[in-house]
Amino acid sequence: MNKPLRRIAIFCGLLVLALLVRVNWIQYGRAEELNTHEYNRRVLIERYSHERGNIIVDGKPITGSAKTDGTDFAYKRTYTDGPMWAPVTGYASQAFGANQIENLEDGVLSGNDDRLFFDRTMGMFTGKKQRGGNVVTTLNSAAQKAAFKGLGKKKGAVAALDPQTGKILALASAPSYDPSKFAGNSDKDSKAWTALGKKNDANDPMLNRALRETYPPGSTFKVLTAAAALEHGTVTDPDAATDSPLPWIMPGTTSPLPNENNIPCKNVSLREALRMSCNTVFGKLGADLGKDKMLETAKKFGFNAEHFTPVRADASYFSDDMNVSQTALSSIGQFDTRATPLQMAMIASAVANDGKLMKPYMVDRLEAPNLDVLEQTEPEEMNRPLSQEHAQILQSVMETVVNDGTGKNAQIPGVTVGGKTGTAQHGENNSKNPYAWFISYAKTDGGSPVAVAVVVEDEEASRDDISGGGLAAPIAKSVMKAVVDSKE
């Protein structure tokens, strides 16, 4: 063979070798990437070729699957009472993907989880169509309905927990949305999706306010300040007078810390201070404790950390960079202090559970299509922000708030209820309507089955009509009663 032909042959051989390497790399090296690529239409067609598993509440599915027409995607997601359950389920859309439980547990729901390999393999031999597994939640349908109905057309959120286990019993957010309206991939679905965006709807209905919005907690934060005062020995007797002058000038300033409506807060006890919601008492307690001790207690309750339920909840915030007067304001739930409704429910939950804070979770178990349990969630202690003795003292004080204070609207006949109201300033120089808060728990002979946090953003109400006891406490009451009644 002459030299030019030999060169051509070698060159062609190298091309063939490069082609073989490339083909093998694509088929084997990039197989997983290409199989799961968002633009691989065949994968999407297979994904929607069978019914998706369901999300279960109280033994009943709150989701489903429906046959579609005019598309190569055979099934799309459906939702029962979609707006009520959207803060729990999230959405699963052929065009826009998925979020929350629909996304986090997608492997089980779609049937593609490795733990379902045997089911898929058996289906190849039996001809049985692939099905997704189920996600069984901890939610209580009666509590969720009470929360959603209670919020109504008001903007706000509700979070309810079982203090003894950490199970999330209700998670409501308003306004909400119906995930069924954009579950497909048609022009109609696209229009529904676009309409829900914050640019087109200022109310931001797709925001999960129970987990992803932080608010100034106002006077509900005084429960945490009371816990810090008890734990660090600043208060030893809840019925003894405190050293709380009136007016009280915040350290480093010439400004007195005001109380609402000139209530008689001079040197009152911790019990009376929480009953009347005295800013001066709790502001001075926070200042006396100091930033470091307040921050330590806040962190024990879960502040300054994200929580995964498994859906992520934003971190609530207590500053680590404050002077004494700012610490005082933070100790009454103002300045830079911010909290999610879930976080405030965790505070009430820890108090109700004798000082033990359980990790919140909303997925009880994952099931295969044949209902075999793939994974079971076990209750997990998260922290002990206060001792049993101090928790029981604080329970007594919070029960006084409901029996003879600002929380009377949360009273339930035959049930012991503890709570704390809050009205948090909102907007520059408090220019906007304040947020109405209420945190609470209910106790029965069997212990404390529920702790609740409610926040209401009522922009339509008269400013003088906004209070935690007036707007938020009745919602908390209905949620607590729903849980108590369901236990009977």
Write out the catalytic residue numbers: 219
Six-digit token string for 154: 């008001």
> By the 8 A CB rule, do 69 and 118 touch?
no
